[in-house]
Every structure is written in C-alpha cells, then in structure tokens.
Amino acid sequence: MRKPLIGLTTYLADARWGEWELPAVLLPAAYTSCLRAAGGRAVLLPPDAPEAAADVVENLDAIILTSGEDLDPALYGAKPHTCTGPPVPERDRWEQAVLAAGLARDMPVLGVCRGMQLMNVHAGGTLVQHLPEKVGHHGHNPYGGHFAPHPVTTVPGTRLGALLPGTSRVATHHHQAVDSLGAGLMVSARAADGTIEAIESTRHRFAVGVQWHPEVAFEPAVVHALVAAARPGGEAVSAAGQEPRTARRSSGVVMPTPGRMTHNLETR
C-alpha cells in the first residue's frame, strides 16, 4: 500500500551551512523523522504564490502546518506587541492558502505551535501576543532555544481526548497562544494555568491543532493519528485511543529534558 503523502510547510530564513550563507527554505529534521516513523512520506511546501496552493494540495493526503515565526497581528486585527517578532508575510499568505485548500477538501490537517495559531486566526480567532503577561510566568517557554517538558490535560469527548486521555507531558516552546476561539473550533486541551493547548474543528474529519511539539515530544501519538487519517478509509482517532499510544512506544522518537533541536542549518 502506498504510504500517505504529507505536506509540511517550511521556514523561509537566512541560514548558514558549510561555507554558504544564503536565504533558505528549511525545516527541523525532527518533523520528517517523526513522520517517517509514523508511516508517512514527507513533502516540503516552501512559501509560494497563494494561488498555487489548491494545485499543490490536490496531490497530497494530509498537511502539517509547522512551527515558526509569530503571525502578523494584522491578520487578526491587532497592533504588534513589543515582544511580537517581525512578520513573514510570504509565509503567512502561503500557509493560509494551503490551509484553506486542505479544509475545502476535508483533508487531514495538523497544526503545530504556530500552525495551531494559524488555524485559529484563519477561523476568525485572535491570539495572546505575549503569554507571560497573561499567565504571570515563563513556564511555556522557560529555556531559550530549547524545548521543555510541560503537562497538558485533554478535554473528554474530543478527538484529542480519545487519543491522549487525561494529562500528558509534552514539549513546549511558545510565547503566544490562542485568545478568542475561531468559528467552528473547540478547545481540546489546556495547561494548568488555563492556556489553550489544543484545538480541533467541529466541521472537518480531522483538523487538529496542538500548541506543543509532537515531533520531538514524549507523546507524538497525534502524528500517528494524522497518518492513519490520511490513509484511504482511515479513521481520525481510534475508538479507545490505544493504537496510537502503542505506535508511539515503537516509533523511537525521544526528546531530551530539556531538549534542544539541532540541525545542519544555523538560522540567523
């Protein structure tokens, strides 16, 4: 059987490797490693003209909207906070078009960190631009350039609740979060401080966003669920949530505590 073809959005950044220092399209290798371990085939989707999105998405079985830079606050009608990073409009426009094309086809979609925030903004929601000001601590982003363990609790009765019942430790690194929820979305996990840690669509077969990083986490079952949903006739979530957990234990994807993601390109 052909393995599902999963499109992953990418960074567009200045980078350095070997003797070169050039603009580059890049993505941390943990994304593709985790996806292969889950039984999928990775296809990178660098920023392109938004009108090309429908044609590109037509050839895929699922989409992962990856992590990265802060979204432009203008997308949700806000002025930039002093801690909000500079926008990358090429990436914002492209990924909105990719998401719209995927949802129009009811294609399985997973949003990771920035990707979850994009899903919410696309649905008309807003973001908290600097989370420490709201929650009073830096527990969601305690180490610069590192991921840290962080407990989240899923909501019973949701797709994610079936996949990861109760409280799980995940990999966190974010200073923004969902504020007002977009139309057609529901909360499926929260942190102890009330921060929304996962959302999912009530209108689509499998459209899930997680604020954490399953590609390097202790619990990448959500990636296995995406790949399962991308297969012909695939179910979005197993009935009791047990199969993805079994797959997780055999995937070989492990995150140090705290874990630094390294790759051959040094972004600047």
By residue range, what is the domain housing residue 244?
Answer: 5-267
**Using an 8 Å Cβ cutoff, are 45 and 10 in contact?**
yes
CATH number for the domain spanning 153: value is 3.40.50.880
| pLDDT score for 239 | 32
Number of domains in the chain: 1
**Cα–chain center distance at 239:** 23
The predicted-structure confidence for 96-149, as pLDDT tens digits, reads as follows: 999 999 999 999 999 999 999 999 999 999 999 988 888 878 878 777 888 888
8 Å CB contact between 224 and 40: no
CA distances from 113 to 52, 122, 197, 257 (A): 24, 14, 9, 19
Instruction: Answer yes or no: are the C-beta atoms of 117 and 69 closer than 8 Å.
Output: no
pLDDT at 218: 64
Q: What is the pLDDT of residues 181-209, one digit of tens each?
A: 999 999 999 999 999 999 999 999 999 99
Which segment of 64-73, 149-158, 226-235 scores lowest on mean pLDDT? 226-235
Mean pLDDT of 166-184: 94
DSSP per residue over 182-223, as a string?
PTTEEEEEE-TT--EEEEEESSSSSEEEESS-TTTSS-THHH
Buried b or exposed e, range 218-242, using 16+ CB within 10 angstroms: bbbbbbbbbbbbbbeebebbbeebe
Please list the active-site residues.
113, 213, 215
